[in-house]
Structure 1
Amino acid sequence: MGQPVITTAQEAHWKGPEKPRDTETRWVEISESAEFRGLMAAKARFLIPAILFSFVYYFALPLSVGYFPHIMKKQVIGSINLAYLFALSQFFVAWAVAFIYARVAENSFDVTVNRIKEKLRGRGNP
């Protein structure tokens, strides 16, 4: 009878003297902040070109094999032709894009996210 009713998992883990603010209210506050909008814009400036590049690079192989078969059949090393090398290169390009994203995220995006979280924690938010 004396126990408070816990309605969310967040409330079950709350250690402060008062209940946490409504999650939706905090999310609106975060999403409207200039810092968060800057983070989303920075991610879009990286991700949109990276996705477009990956898309074009991926479809370049079937298109070049279809429209330029005489070039793609050219033997490069023994029986390995240009089409096989291009196909193999797609693995390395995908890994390179993933590696570059991880570096940019670690050095830029994650720093901004941590700054936003620290700002909220400094005001008494979990």
Structure 2
Amino acid sequence: MASDRPTKDPTPPDGNGGDEPISNEAFVAMHSDPRFTELKRRLYRFIFPMSIAFMAWYLLYVLMSAFGRDIMGTNLFGSVNVALVFGLLQFVSTFGIAVLYTRYANRNFDRSAAELRDELQNGATTQKREDNR
């Protein structure tokens, strides 16, 4: 029985067909490219503050669990206490950060990263360096 679904193309979509490895010179050239430096700066601008905020939030949860047992044991309603709500909010904040990161990445560096990756895989970076000599 034939399937109507399209078959997957066996050639990877990496620009060079996967046959040629990318040279070390191309990686070095890309690493020193100002566009790549700007891309890293935009990435770190999100990652560092968000990591610090999340770790502070997690540390608060741990410290409150260890030293604020009276507060954490306070029942809010039924058998739900502050500790349970704090624990659930850890999960909510993790997923929230993932959503924020996705939005930030889409706006701030996915297009630039794709362009640089295509240049690297297609040899445009080494071509430009040779043209400048």
TM-score normalised by the chain length of structure 1: 0.75
Partner of 1:41: 41
What stretches of structure 1 of length at least 5 have no aligned partner? 1-9, 15-19
Instruction: Go from structure 1 to structure 2 and tell me whether the alpha carbon gap of 1:124 and 1:44 turns closer, same or farther (over 3 Å shift).
Output: closer
Structure 1 residue 119, shift from structure 2 partner: 5.0
Instruction: Go from structure 1 to structure 2 and tell me whether the alpha carbon gap of 1:78 and 1:11 turns closer, same or farther (over 3 Å shift).
Output: closer
Q: Is 1:13–2:19 an aligned residue pair?
A: yes
Partner of 2:75: 75
Which segment is superposed worse, 86-95 or 111-120? 111-120
Structure 1 residue 12, shift from structure 2 partner: 6.6
Instruction: Go from structure 1 to structure 2 and tell me whether the alpha carbon gap of 1:11 and 1:84 turns closer, same or farther (over 3 Å shift).
Output: closer
What stretches of structure 2 of length at least 5 have no aligned partner? 1-15, 127-133
Partner of 1:27: 27
Which segment is superposed worse, 83-92 or 49-58? 49-58
Structure 2 CA distance, aligned partners of 1:38 and 1:124?
Answer: 16
Structure 1 residue 51, shift from structure 2 partner: 1.1
Structure 1 residue 116, shift from structure 2 partner: 2.2
Structure 1 CA distance, aligned partners of 2:75 and 2:87?
Answer: 14
Shift >3 Å, 4+ stretches: 117-125
Instruction: Go from structure 1 to structure 2 and tell me whether the alpha carbon gap of 1:110 and 1:11 turns closer, same or farther (over 3 Å shift).
Output: closer
Structure 1 residue 76, shift from structure 2 partner: 0.6
What count of residue pairs does the alignment treat as equivalent?
A: 110
Q: Is 1:103–2:103 an aligned residue pair?
A: yes
Q: Is 1:93–2:93 an aligned residue pair?
A: yes
- Give the residue type in structure 2 aligned to 1:37: T
Q: Identity over aligned residues, as a percent?
A: 25
Task: Give the secondary-structure state (helix, strand or coil) at the position aligned to 1:70.
Answer: helix
Give the aligned CA root-mean-square deviation in angstroms.
Answer: 2.5
Q: 1:27-70: CA deviations, max 9, x gaps? A: 11111011000111111111011111111112211201222222
- Give the residue type in structure 1 aligned to 2:32: E
Instruction: Go from structure 1 to structure 2 and tell me whether the alpha carbon gap of 1:118 and 1:13 turns closer, same or farther (over 3 Å shift).
Output: closer
